[in-house]
Amino acid sequence: MGAQLRVYKRRIRSVTATKKITKAMEMIAASRVVKAQRKVAASTPYATELTRAVTAVGTGSNTKHPLTTQAETVTRSAVLLLTSDRGLAGAYNSNAIKAAEQLTERLEREGKQVTTYIVGRRGLAHYNFRERKVAESWTGFTDEPTYADAKKVAAPLIEAIETETAEGGVDELHIVFTEFVSMMTQTALDDRLLPLSLEEVAKEAAPKGEILPLYDFEPSAEDVLDALLPRYVESRIYNALLQSAASKHAATRRAMKSATDNAGELITTLSRLANAARQAEITQEISEIVGGSAALADATAGSDR
C-alpha cells in the first residue's frame, strides 16, 4: 500500500510541474495574440486601399497585365501555404494543411500543374515526410512576421507570375492561410491572389454602392500596374502572415488552457486516490496493531492460567 501511495505522489508532482508549464505558455500566448491583433488591424487598411487602387486601374483601362488578366488557358498554378514553426496549437496546422491539400486536388482535377510554396516548419515537415515536392520554403518568423519577411516570400512568387509558363512560370497564385475571426474562431481559407477578379474586388471595395474614383495614368496604366504588382502581393502576404500568427497564438492559448484545466482535474483525481490509499494504509496499520494487541492479551491470559 505504501508503494502505491508513493506512485500517486510522484504522478501528482509530475502533473503539477506540467500544469505550471502549460499555464505559463497560456499566458505568453495571450499576450502575443493581443499584439498580433493590433498588427492585423494596422495592416488591413493599407492592403484594402492598395486593392482599391489596383481595381481602379484595372477597371479604368484595357491593359492586359498578369495582375488583372486571366490567361486563356491556365496550365500552372502556385499555392502558398502558411503554417507555423511550432506546434502545441491544436488543429491550427492540420486545418491549414488540409485546406491546401484540398485546393491542390481541385486544381489538379482541373488539369493544372501545381507548384507549392510553404511558410513554417510544420507544413514543410508534413510535405517532406510524404516526399512531396516543394518549390521553396521559409521558416523562423511565423510567430512575429515583419514586412521584410513578406517581401522575402513574395519575391519568388512575383518572379513566377511574371515568367512565361513555357519557361517555368505560373498563370495564377493562390494562398492558404488561417483567418483570425475571434479568440475562439480561426478559419483556414484559400484565396486567389493573382490574377485579380476585378468584379469581386470591386464589390468588396465598395459594399455600399460607392463609386470608385477615376484616374489619369502617367506614363501608362501598364507601368502603374507594374509598380503596384509587387506592393499588392507583398501587402496581401503580409496581412495573411499576421492573420496566421494571430490565429496560431489564439489556438495555442486555447490548447494550453485546456491542458491546464485537464491537469487540474487530473491532480484532483490523483489526490483523492492518494488520500484513499493513505487512509487504507492507516486502517491496515490500526488493524495490525489491534490484532497484535489482542494476540498478546490472549497469550498473557494463557500463561496466567
More confident residue, 63 or 233: 233
What's the CA gap between 11 and 8, in Å, rounded? 5
Angle at CA of residue 90, ends 187 and 151, nearest 5°:
55
Q: Which amino acid is at 92?
A: Y
Using alpha carbons, select from 47, 61, 56 the residue that is nearest to residue 222: 61
Residue 83 has pLDDT above 90, yes or no: yes
- Contact by Cβ (8 Å): 188, 91: no
- Average confidence (pLDDT) over 170-184: 88
Q: Summarize pLDDT for 202-211 with one digit per residue, the tens.
A: 555 555 555 5
Query: Which triple of cell numbers denotes residue 117?
Result: 510554396
Q: How is residue 268 written as a grid cell? A: 484532483
Beta bridge partners of 180: 186
The pLDDT value recorded for residue 232 is 84
What average pLDDT does the chain have?
83
> Which tens digits make up the pLDDT trace of 216-265?
666 676 777 777 778 888 888 999 999 999 999 999 988 898 889 999 99
* Residue 212, pLDDT score: 57
Residue percentage of the chain with pLDDT more than 70: 84
What pLDDT was estimated at residue 82? Answer: 95
Neighbours of 175 (CB within 10 A): 26
d(CA 60, CA 277): 81
Cβ burial of 148 (10 Å; 0-12, 13-18, 19+) is exposed
pLDDT at 62 > cutoff 80? no
Longest pairwise C-alpha distance within the chain: 128
Using the 8-state DSSP alphabet, how is residue 123 labeled? H
**H or E segment at 187?**
strand 186-194
Place of cell 485579380: 196
C-alpha–C-alpha distance, residues 3 and 41, integer Å: 57
Position 287 confidence tier, pLDDT thresholds 50, 70, 90: confident
Query: pLDDT (tens digit, 9 = 90+) per residue, 22-32?
Result: 899 889 888 88
pTM of the model: 0.80
Q: Is residue 173's pLDDT more than 80?
A: yes
